[in-house]
Amino acid sequence: MKVDVELYQLIRYKYAVERLSKRRIARELGISRHTVDKYCEGAAMPWERKKPERKAPVMTEAVVSFIEECLRQDQKAPKKQRHTAHRIYERLREEMGFQGAEPTVRRQVAILRQKLPEAYVPLGFGPGEAAQVDWGRAVVVMGGVRREVELLCFRLCYSCAPFVVAFPCQREEAFLEGHILAFAYFGGVPEVCIYDNVKTAVKSGFGRHAEERGEFLAFRAHYAFKAEFCNPGEAHEKGLVENLVGWARRNILVPLPEVEDFAALNRLLRRRCEEYLTHTVRGRETSVGEALQCERNRLTPLPAKPYDPARAHETVPNYFALVTFDGNQYSVPVELVGRTVTVKAYADSVKIYHRGMVIAFHRRLYGKGKTAYELSHYLRLLERKPRAVFHAKPVREANLPGIYEEFARLSDSPERTMVRLLRLGVDYGLERVATAIEEAMTIGARSVEVVAHYLAKNEESPRLPVRGPRVDPPDLGRYDLLLGGGPR
């Protein structure tokens, strides 16, 4: 029954002032006892309407199931790499063609999670004034193996432009190399970089009393910027980059990406940072990319020569042609045994120099007691001592196709044949030589010369763009002078 204000007034007056019973009020007014019971005590008012909860038509059972599955996956995922409502919305659009609005998804996620969305406090900075820097840790699947990686995150405070790069460690060389990459990406250097009390930059103390490390001081001098350090436990002092660390984990690395190596992972991170430039921060009229264009005009120009972030030291290779760095060993050509070389270690590689020339390059090893061999470094020694070839560690760890040893064992001199095959493998590539060996074995050949013949046969000869001499056409009229004595 519809109750207007006049009827409501009569119910309330007869009940509260005249003190009539509910039965009598219903009889006198000709309404039901239920209506009297609802309004007599003033607990309900007829002008108030409770809005019925309605389910959005786009929130189908399939969509709700997808959201529930995302939240179930989060139970096994790292705590800092779980779905946000925004990430679930993006996945719904990409994977299910969802046509609804993001607030609809946010409401459903909040219901399922029974928690309120996060809120952020905006900060204000001038163009080129500052950037915030912080480390974060994440989990990825690299080369088929689940592993932790370190994310070095940068964010310009004016434009909010992000840059994220992954490293296998948080060591000083990675810290400095990340800065070099970030400054190159932004196109310049901010006046101030804001950090927590990161050990790769701070020697002792904290906040305004932090004492910086010598290498970091030299780096700052080269790129001409100042450093500010936060107080311990005051993450809000660099809230922009704190949010970026979480955003990168939840929006780029959810679900866990499967990549081959750090190069592939960093390409993914860079692409997503570039895509973010089209985003418009709440409360602003221009996109992040447009603000970055404005900010670049105020950044300090990059130095003419980039800083070399490597850790370097001199050493002498031992009689196994190995140098030791940071608890691991790396091979060098055997000719350099006993000579002084310089080892330069970067975040993901190790370069070894002799007299200013790079004589060895290895992927950097982490942990302790590991050894990186390069087969070509030992070939000259194996050519002099072929009997060691089948038990040599550089050969065993080269992951040779099994057909190498199979072919060598069939020859009259297995050790020398194996060494000659290794020489071809270094010159032509291990897989190409394996293919040539297969061709030789199909015709019953047992000679390395046949393998070399197939390699040469399969190699296309390059055509050089050589031009011949220019020859002008002869003047045939001159023959008339010889025959007739003069022109006709």
154-177 core/surface letters (b: 16 or more CB in 10 A; e: else): bbbbbbbbbbbbbbbebbbbbbbb
pLDDT band at 486, cuts 50/70/90? low
Give the separation between CA 124 and CA 158, rounded to whole angstroms.
Answer: 7
Structure tokens at 153: 């995150």
Measure the N-to-C terminal CA separation of the chain; round to a whole number of Å. 130
- Inform me whether the pLDDT recorded for 51 exceeds 70: no
pLDDT at residue 150, as a whole number: 94
pLDDT band at 183, cuts 50/70/90? very high
Give the separation between CA 463 and CA 30, rounded to whole angstroms.
Answer: 108
Q: pLDDT (tens digit, 9 = 90+) per residue, 447-467? A: 899 999 888 877 655 555 556
Orientation of helix 414-428 relative to helix 448-458, angle to 10°: 10
pLDDT at residue 337, as a whole number: 94
Q: pLDDT (tens digit, 9 = 90+) per residue, 118-138? A: 444 455 678 999 999 999 999
pLDDT at residue 483, as a whole number: 62
pLDDT at residue 59, as a whole number: 86
**What average pLDDT does the chain have?**
87
pLDDT at residue 223, as a whole number: 93
Residue 240 burial (C-beta neighbours within 10 Å; 0-12, 13-18, 19+): buried
DSSP string, 184-196: HHHTSB-SEEEE-
pLDDT at residue 367, as a whole number: 87
pLDDT band at 488, cuts 50/70/90? very low
User: What share of the chain has pLDDT > 70, as a percent?
Assistant: 89
Question: Quick one: which H or E segment has residue 142?
Answer: strand 130-142
What is the Cα gyration radius of the chain? 38
Q: If you average pLDDT over residues 148-162, what whole number do you get?
A: 93
Orientation of helix 22-29 relative to helix 5-16, angle to 10°: 140
- Spatial neighbors of 240 by CB under 8 A, at least 6 apart, are 123, 132, 155, 157, 160
Q: If you average pLDDT over residues 468-482, what whole number do you get?
A: 66
Backbone angles phi, psi at 226, to 5 degrees: -100, 160
- Spatial neighbors of 102 by CB under 8 A, at least 6 apart, are 85, 86, 89
Q: If you average pLDDT over residues 190-210, what whole number do you get?
A: 86
Amino acid (1-letter code) at residue 404? Y
Q: If you average pLDDT over residues 153-169, what whole number do you get?
A: 93
User: What share of the chain has pLDDT > 90, as a percent?
Assistant: 58
- Inform me whether the pLDDT recorded for 293 exceeds 80: yes
pLDDT band at 408, cuts 50/70/90? very high
- Helix boundaries (H) for 75-167: 85-96, 102-113
DSSP state, 300?
B
Contact (CB, 8 A) for 456 and 449: no
In the numeric block, the tokens 């003033």 are attached to 42
Confidence (pTM)? 0.65
pLDDT band at 116, cuts 50/70/90? very low
Question: 3-state class of 367 per DSSP?
Answer: coil
pLDDT band at 73, cuts 50/70/90? confident
Dihedral through CA 256, CA 257, CA 262, CA 264, nearest 10? Answer: -170
Give the residue from 357, 328, 326 showing the smallest Cα distance to 341: 357
Q: pLDDT (tens digit, 9 = 90+) per residue, 301-351? A: 999 999 999 999 999 999 999 999 999 999 999 999 999 999 999 999 999
Other CB atoms within 10 Å distance of the CB of residue 455: 20
Q: If you average pLDDT over residues 30-45, what whole number do you get?
A: 86
- Inform me whether the pLDDT recorded for 471 exceeds 80: no
Amino acid (1-letter code) at residue 203? K
pLDDT band at 80, cuts 50/70/90? confident
Contact (CB, 8 A) for 286 and 280: yes
Q: If you average pLDDT over residues 403-419, what whole number do you get?
A: 92
Residue 38 Cα distances to 12, 19, 41, 42, 44, angstroms: 11, 16, 7, 8, 7
CA 336 from centroid of its chain's CA atoms: 37
Give the residue from 437, 382, 379 showing the smallest Cα distance to 410: 437
pLDDT at residue 120, as a whole number: 44
Amino acid (1-letter code) at residue 359? I
Give the separation between CA 149 and CA 137, rounded to whole angstroms.
Answer: 6
Q: If you average pLDDT over residues 100-124, what whole number do you get?
A: 73
